[in-house]
Structure 1
Amino acid sequence: MTTHKRFKQSLIFTAITLASLTTVGCATQVAPGKYVDGVHQVQAKGKKSQIVLEVKVEQGNIVDIKTQSHNETESLFLNAERLLAKVLKNNGHEGIDAVSGATYSSNGILKAVNKLPRANGIQPEYVAVGSKEASGDDDFKLKWSIQPQLGLISGDYYYEEARFRQGHKGSMTVVTNSANKDDVILAEFNESGRPNYYTRLYQDVPKRMSEYNFTMGKKKGTAWVQSALTMEKLMMDKDQLIFEPNPNHDPKLANKLKEPNRLRYLGIDIVAGASNSIQQSMIPLTAKIYDQIQTQGTHYKFYQHAEKVLDSKGKWTGITGMLRIVVDTNTKQIAKAQFDEIFADEKAQIADASMKKYYRQSKYDSINYVEPARIGFNVMFDALNEHLKAGGSLFDINDLPATGDSGSYAATGFTKRSSSWDLYLKHADILYKQMRADGVIVEHKRPATK
């Protein structure tokens, strides 16, 4: 009897234990994708602030997720924000680790996702996660700077461009000290995607200050521009324009770069993100320029003025204005002009919240930048370039796009004057005075004031 009673109690205990385990399993193993349809705002604490997400759910599945607001350290949050794509793909936060170096922000994002209302009514408890990601192919570190040298610089101008590998167009600008041809004061490489590029978004688009570095760079673990900047700094620091390539380089590898195939110049290891561009375009173009410097020289002069745009209180807006002018000293006419407005390297430095997404880009190169004047920023200043090359005045811009209020977008293609023209005129006045003082340009008439 006693033995039977103990056996019965044992069966009851086992049944209770199994039931308890089953209950716990049901509470924690929520089927993914079973969310309440609609657009939800969810939030959770990161390291410094509440992270607010907007999540769209259709048929129980997450179809869109984006950050609404946060006040985390910008560089860390940018890394943590990569988890949004994983949450979308995974249809939930379960099984996703934190990003190394941004653990608190990562957990804030994942905890917010955990607060999405579930179709079964269960709200599982969030369990904080650590980082299991090692630095590797998915480690995309945003470190480069595209800010121009402030103030005025001038010198002898050299430029080469050519298409290479499947039709990409590389271009190289070199400016040397007019008093010392061996003193390199500016070296700048750019590249435009080939016209038949497999990603239509980047066909014929300049890479240096566009979104290319953020999207395509992720596939390579680094931004394209970082390699170019490394080489440019080397050229200016060492006043050197020709190099011996890595003796281990194997051209048969083409795009399939391996460690021995990485470029090395004077001990500088060029990252693989743009080593083909460096090797097949930048170095050959620079070598041509070097030969020209040493032989025939140039009759073109380069002038650049860059200045931070300040608000009414004298605080930087996060935008830097820059005007470049190339003058043919034989004719004293403008051969090329380029005006651009360059966004700060960090989102936090840009005052206008709507412009923060364009950080490390410029208005001219950005694909997604929307010019308030209702006409492309590049269209405006391409027209300026053609106007000046044809002998037009630096200051007579009234017939150029978006220089006045038309009042009819349908009829003219724009509705109001672009504030960029006023900024351009300020830079033009500074460069014009210097060029006239140097005796390299003819007089440019100013339009009569009304």
Structure 2
Amino acid sequence: MMKTELHFKKSLLVSAVALATFALAGCANTAPQGKYVDGVHHVSGKGKKSDITLEVKVEQGNITQVKTLSHKETESLYLNAERLLPEIVSHNGHEGIDAISGATYSSNGILKAINDLPRIDGTKPEYQSVGARSQTGDDDFKLKWSIQPRLGLVKGDYYFEEARFRQGHMGSMLVVVDSNNLQDVILAEFNESGRPNYYTRLYQNVPKRMSEYNFSMGKKKGTAWVQSALTMEKLMMEKDQLTFELNPNYDPKLGNQLTEPNRLKYQGIDIVAGASNSIQQSMIPLTAKIHNRIQAGASDALFYQQAEKLLDEKGRWTGVTAMLRLVVDKNSHKITHAHYDEIFADEKKDIQDASLKAFYRQSKYDSINYVEPARIGFNVMIDALSLHLKEGGSLFNINDLPAAGDTGSYAQTGFTKRSDAWDNYLRLAGILYKQMRADGVINEHALPAQ
């Protein structure tokens, strides 16, 4: 009885599948593919400040390409909204797509324009405005970049340039070349600090490279600011290239069209959308100045850097990397610049201390929210160290610096105990000092009493 019933159900299933297959085959022979009329269409939708006009290519009823022809929206906001274009292609339409947070009006202008595409069935649905997609926390932040320094020793001739650009942002460029081959770029590093009157108070005068700024911008524009800098730095070091030819077909009107090569001012560069102004208006002009200085002869300064991963008592990485940089004058053998920092791992999972996981891909010096246990700003400590060394102080006698001792008086001094960072600094200072003395490039510094 059960066997007969099972055979009957299988027969029904086979018949149903055959019928469905026949029906689908019939539909395939009569129904058109896709839903839009083939061709190249110009469609428009109202954004916040202007009409947004798109050029949409349709093949076999499917959207294959979307380009912006014109708009007068706020540049940064429209760059954000333009992230919808590849989504429209993959969705073959605007249905089911939410607006980009921070660019809701521009997003709706783009989606409304797509709604105006002529359809094969002749219909034109009424456009319904959409809200911004929900934003979750950092756990859903998928962008990747690394701010880890090169481990071990880096040394060479030192060049540095900085200048304000575009509304007052401060751009800076550090280049280190092989002292025996000035054409060999061994380190290139670009940084930028927000202008003093930046519209977000949190980022006024804040360095962008290893601060929360990258996460804030990444969520707004889909790319972190530092990603462009890292891309260009890699290019400069791999190709030993510090100058770039102007693009003869450069068209500033194409600045918002991310797929257009002529939106870029220089040839041969590969920059991530979101920091093109920083690269084109600051980084490249600064490296051009440095290039000219290199052609004129060797630098008067030498650069030394030591970086190492900080380990726990069992020899495991804590998720923090210590880095010390020193610059010495070749003639006087005095320290002219010094910077110490502790840099958190690129991934939360690599940071042992749960209270520090929030600072991944940031450094203690640049982070806005990091709180030093010594109860004084980490940046205050390091700025004091830099000044101490520039004024001729010893690399090792640092007892007068902030958080270098246990005072026990928060009310009086603003901090209560010695920062562990000083012990890490002293270890790296010892390594660099030994190397620099061996190279004969630094004056003698008083060593700490044993």
1:426 is matched with which residue? 427
- Partner AA of 1:171 in structure 2: S
Kindly indicate whether residue 235 of structure 2 is the aligned counterpart of residue 240 of structure 1.
no
1:279 is matched with which residue? 280
How far off is 1:140 after superposition? 6.0
Offset from partner CA, 1:259-318 (integer Å, 9 cap, x none): 435438665531221010000000000000000000133110000000000000000000
Offset from partner CA, 1:125-167 (integer Å, 9 cap, x none): xxxxxxx99xxxxx96421100000000100000000000000
- Partner AA of 1:235 in structure 2: M
How far off is 1:220 after superposition? 1.5
Kindly indicate whether residue 382 of structure 2 is the aligned counterpart of residue 409 of structure 1.
no
- Partner AA of 1:392 in structure 2: G
SS at match of 2:370: coil
Kindly indicate whether residue 390 of structure 2 is the aligned counterpart of residue 389 of structure 1.
yes
- Partner AA of 1:154 in structure 2: K
Check conservation: 1:141, 1:222, Cα contact below 8 A: no
Provide the rounded CA distance (Å) in 1 between the counterparts of 2:268 and 2:388.
45
Kindly indicate whether residue 295 of structure 2 is the aligned counterpart of residue 294 of structure 1.
yes
How far off is 1:253 after superposition? 6.5
- Partner AA of 2:309 in structure 1: K
- Partner AA of 1:340 in structure 2: D
1:108 is matched with which residue? none
Kindly indicate whether residue 332 of structure 2 is the aligned counterpart of residue 331 of structure 1.
yes
Kindly indicate whether residue 359 of structure 2 is the aligned counterpart of residue 375 of structure 1.
no
Check conservation: 1:194, 1:204, Cα contact below 8 A: yes
> Alpha carbons of 1:96 and 1:407: their partners in 2 closer, same or farther (altered >3 Å)?
farther
SS at match of 2:392: coil
- Partner AA of 1:435 in structure 2: M
SS at match of 2:352: coil
> Alpha carbons of 1:262 and 1:251: their partners in 2 closer, same or farther (altered >3 Å)?
closer
Check conservation: 2:225, 2:274, Cα contact below 8 A: yes
> Alpha carbons of 1:96 and 1:314: their partners in 2 closer, same or farther (altered >3 Å)?
farther
Kindly indicate whether residue 401 of structure 2 is the aligned counterpart of residue 400 of structure 1.
yes
2:225 is matched with which residue? 224
**Structure 1 segments (4+ residues) deviating >4 Å:** 264-268
Kindly indicate whether residue 202 of structure 2 is the aligned counterpart of residue 201 of structure 1.
yes
Kindly indicate whether residue 430 of structure 2 is the aligned counterpart of residue 441 of structure 1.
no
How far off is 1:219 after superposition? 1.7
Check conservation: 1:172, 1:187, Cα contact below 8 A: yes
Provide the rounded CA distance (Å) in 2 between the counterparts of 1:358 and 1:337.
23
- Output aligned runs, 1:349-368, within 5 Å: 349-368=350-369
**Which segments of 5 or more consecutive residues in structure 1 lack a partner in the other structure?**
1-94, 98-131, 134-138
> How many residue pairs end up in the alignment?
315
Provide the rounded CA distance (Å) in 1 between the counterparts of 2:267 and 2:314.
46
- Output aligned runs, 1:19-418, within 5 Å: 141-251=142-252, 256=256, 258-260=258-260, 261-263=262-264, 268-418=269-419
Check conservation: 1:264, 1:270, Cα contact below 8 A: no
Provide the rounded CA distance (Å) in 2 between the counterparts of 1:185 and 1:141.
30
Check conservation: 1:170, 1:282, Cα contact below 8 A: yes
Provide the rounded CA distance (Å) in 1 between the counterparts of 2:419 and 2:233.
33
SS at match of 1:365: coil
Check conservation: 1:262, 1:272, Cα contact below 8 A: no
SS at match of 1:272: coil
> Alpha carbons of 1:140 and 1:220: their partners in 2 closer, same or farther (altered >3 Å)?
farther
- Partner AA of 1:410 in structure 2: A
Check conservation: 1:176, 1:182, Cα contact below 8 A: yes
> Alpha carbons of 1:140 and 1:263: their partners in 2 closer, same or farther (altered >3 Å)?
farther
Offset from partner CA, 1:399-420 (integer Å, 9 cap, x none): 0000001101010010000000
- Partner AA of 1:278 in structure 2: I
Query: Which is worse superposed, 243-252 or 395-404?
Result: 243-252
How far off is 1:216 after superposition? 1.9
- Partner AA of 2:250 in structure 1: H
Query: Which is worse superposed, 236-245 or 176-185?
Result: 236-245
Provide the rounded CA distance (Å) in 1 between the counterparts of 2:264 and 2:97.
36
- Partner AA of 1:270 in structure 2: I
2:12 is matched with which residue? none
SS at match of 2:182: strand
**Which segments of 5 or more consecutive residues in structure 2 lack a partner in the other structure?**
1-95, 99-132, 135-139
Check conservation: 2:266, 2:280, Cα contact below 8 A: no
Normalised by the length of structure 2, the TM-score is 0.67
Check conservation: 2:156, 2:304, Cα contact below 8 A: yes
Check conservation: 1:263, 1:269, Cα contact below 8 A: no
SS at match of 1:293: helix
Provide the rounded CA distance (Å) in 2 between the counterparts of 1:448 and 1:218.
50
Provide the rounded CA distance (Å) in 2 between the counterparts of 1:158 and 1:325.
13
Check conservation: 2:246, 2:267, Cα contact below 8 A: no
How far off is 1:96 after superposition? 11
Q: What RMSD, in angstroms, separates the aligned Cα atoms of the two structures?
A: 2.1
Provide the rounded CA distance (Å) in 2 between the counterparts of 1:340 and 1:350.
16
Normalised by the length of structure 1, the TM-score is 0.67
How far off is 1:243 after superposition? 0.8
Provide the rounded CA distance (Å) in 1 between the counterparts of 2:309 and 2:266.
34
Provide the rounded CA distance (Å) in 2 between the counterparts of 1:401 and 1:341.
17
Provide the rounded CA distance (Å) in 2 between the counterparts of 1:202 and 1:251.
27
